[in-house]
Amino acid sequence: MNMDMFERISEHQQVLFCNDQATGLKAIIAIHNTTLGPALGGCRMQPYESVDAALEDVLRLSKGMTYKCAAADVDFGGGKAVIIGDPAKDKNPELFRAFGQFVESLNGRFYTGTDMGTTPGDFVHALKETNCIVGVEEEYGGSGDSSVPTALGVIYGVKATNQAVWGTSDLGDKTYAIQGLGKVGAKVAEHLLQEGANLYVTDISQSAIDDVLSKAKQYNGFVKVVNDKEIYSVDADVFVPCAFGGVINDETIEQLKVRAVAGSANNQLLDIHHGKILQEKGILYAPDYIVNAGGLIQVADELYEPNKARVLRKTKAIYTSLLDVFQESMNSGICTVEASNLLCERRIESRSQRNSFFSHMKRPKWAVRN
Ligand code: NAD
């Protein structure tokens, strides 16, 4: 018997290949670890060049969700789904209904919603087949735009980072370099301007830049627009990546003049060793999966009796979680992302001693109308 595939998924509990002939759906759902609760993670749609590339992506992303859930202290485990296809051409309601049926077949072991290439509207179709969907619009029983709590979490992440570097969590007397002024970056920029901070910003979208410049006028703040290459080398205190992953790499680390990095982008370090290089350079790195957990906290909360006050409290707790990570990193001499992974593994290990029942979380099916 060829065990290669089992070796490849050896860290995971379950991998489901979904094939629906009628709609052409080809998807993979990966459940990494359910020690803390049912798996939770978004569904990405991308024209992967091979099934192998899709599998690699879903295995990596679902493992990341285990750590993200543990760090955010939500009672969920790590899971993720990928649909192989072009979001611009291959989407249709039936495809998402077929996907919803596969999610339902897991009977509450996996909850999902939007990620790159998918929208809340896509999941309204999946919601007709399963109640294990999060993050749709409020009219369908979801909690709406997750970028609002994500941006708030980034602000608390930056405060903790400032506290660790400068001994004060004040935001206002610093200069920030913000990369990406989309749903999250624009809100972070506005909040920092309100606090009196100075900003360097970059985005490939002129309308996103224009929006921030008009906010700068409103708050009488200083904003300097730079191009996408210059953002790494500007004379700022904190680099705030809010666009895409892999931005901390051999090339960019050389250019950074900042004392800290804290932003919303997923997978900011091209590789974990870049976390060590940042540490050696005296740049404090706030692990991305802690800083950007506000959206996760909001969608996880949907599966209980939704409670905005609780979402706010847990999002604000990103501040103390980060301070714990910085302390662990200082105590043990390891870089911050290693310290964060260690704290998450300890939390999962301590919970693995206890049996947990989570079927009560399965919420009633929403009556979905077109
Ligand atoms: P978004 O698509 O709304 O914004 C991304 C912005 O980056 C866009 O304005 C885009 O024009 C800009 N951009 C793209 N390429 C660029 C480049 N080369 N240089 C500068 N700007 C560039 O996405 P978002 O929801 O704001 O998310 C931002 C990041 O945060 C992503 O990495 C996302 O995965 C992560 N994140 C978002 C959430 C959330 O709730 N939205 C939650 C967790 C993590």
For residue range 260-269, list pLDDT tens digits in order. 999 999 999 9
Q: Are strands 222-225 and 43-46 parallel, antiparallel or unpaired?
A: unpaired
- Is residue 181 in contact with ligand 1, taking CB distance under 6 Å? yes
- Is residue 249 in contact with ligand 1, taking CB distance under 6 Å? no
- Is residue 183 in contact with ligand 1, taking CB distance under 6 Å? yes
* Terminal C-alpha separation, the chain: 48
| The ligand 1 atom nearest the CA atom of 184 | 26
Query: For residue 214, how many other CB atoms are within 10 A of its CB?
Result: 10
Strand partners, 175: 198
Cα of 3 vs centre of ligand 1, distance in Å, is: 39
Per-residue H/E/C for the chain? CCCHHHHHCCCCCEEEEEEECCCCEEEEEEEEECCCCCEECCEEEECCCCHHHHHHHHHHHHHHHHHHHHHHCCCCEEEEEEEECCCCCCCCHHHHHHHHHHHHHCCCCEEECECCCCCHHHHHHHCCCCCCECCCCHHHCCCCCCHHHHHHHHHHHHHHHHHHHHCCCCCCCCEEEEECCCHHHHHHHHHHHHCCCEEEEECCCHHHHHHHHHHHHHHCCEEEECCCCHHHHCCCCEEEECCCCCCECHHHHHHCCCCEECCCCCCCECCCHHHHHHHHCCCEECCHHHHCCHHHHHHHHHCCCCCHHHHHHHHHCHHHHHHHHHHHHHHHCCCHHHHHHHHHHHHHHHHCCCCCCCHHHCCCCCCCCC
Atom 8 (ligand 1) nearest CA: 182
- Is residue 146 in contact with ligand 1, taking CB distance under 6 Å? yes
Mutate to test the pocket of ligand 1, among 57, 69, 147 (most ligand atoms within 8 A of CB): 147
pLDDT at 306 over 60: yes
| The ligand 1 atom nearest the CA atom of 264 | 30
Contact 120, 51 (CB under 8 A): no
CB proximity list for 25: less than 8 A, separation 6 or greater: 18, 19, 83, 95, 98, 99, 102
- Of 26, 63, 68, 80, the active-site residue reads 80
Cα of 263 vs centre of ligand 1, distance in Å, is: 10
Q: In angstroms, rounded to a whole number, what is the distance separating the alpha carbons of residues 312 and 321?
A: 14
Strand partners, 240: 178
| The ligand 1 atom nearest the CA atom of 185 | 26
Contact 198, 225 (CB under 8 A): no
Query: Please, which pLDDT band fits residue 89 given cuts at 50, 70 and 90?
Result: very high
Q: In angstroms, rounded to a whole number, what is the distance separating the alpha carbons of residues 105 and 108?
A: 8
User: Average pLDDT of 240-269?
Assistant: 96
Mutate to test the pocket of ligand 1, among 184, 207, 267, 289 (most ligand atoms within 8 A of CB): 184
**Is 281 a known active-site residue?**
no
Query: Please, which pLDDT band fits residue 321 given cuts at 50, 70 and 90?
Result: very high
Query: Please, which pLDDT band fits residue 24 given cuts at 50, 70 and 90?
Result: very high
> For the chain, what is the mean pLDDT?
93
Q: In angstroms, rounded to a whole number, what is the distance separating the alpha carbons of residues 70 and 358?
A: 16
| The ligand 1 atom nearest the CA atom of 147 | 40
pLDDT value for 368:
46
pLDDT value for 1:
54
Cα of 355 vs centre of ligand 1, distance in Å, is: 38
Per-residue H/E/C for 137-160? CHHHCCCCCCHHHHHHHHHHHHHH
pLDDT value for 367:
44
- Is residue 205 in contact with ligand 1, taking CB distance under 6 Å? yes
Residue 170: half-sphere exposure toward Cβ, Cα within 13 Å? 10
Query: For residue 64, how many other CB atoms are within 10 A of its CB?
Result: 18
- Is residue 203 in contact with ligand 1, taking CB distance under 6 Å? yes
Atom 1 (ligand 1) nearest CA: 182
If 0-12 CB within 10 Å is exposed, 13-18 middle and 19+ buried, where does residue 105 land? Answer: middle
Q: In angstroms, rounded to a whole number, what is the distance separating the alpha carbons of residues 237 and 239?
A: 7
Amino acid identity, residue 339? A
Cα of 101 vs centre of ligand 1, distance in Å, is: 30
Residue-wise pLDDT tens digits, 322-348: 999 999 999 999 999 999 999 999 999
Tell me the two tokens of residue 303: 């599966």
Cα of 288 vs centre of ligand 1, distance in Å, is: 13
| The ligand 1 atom nearest the CA atom of 202 | 20
pLDDT value for 357:
55
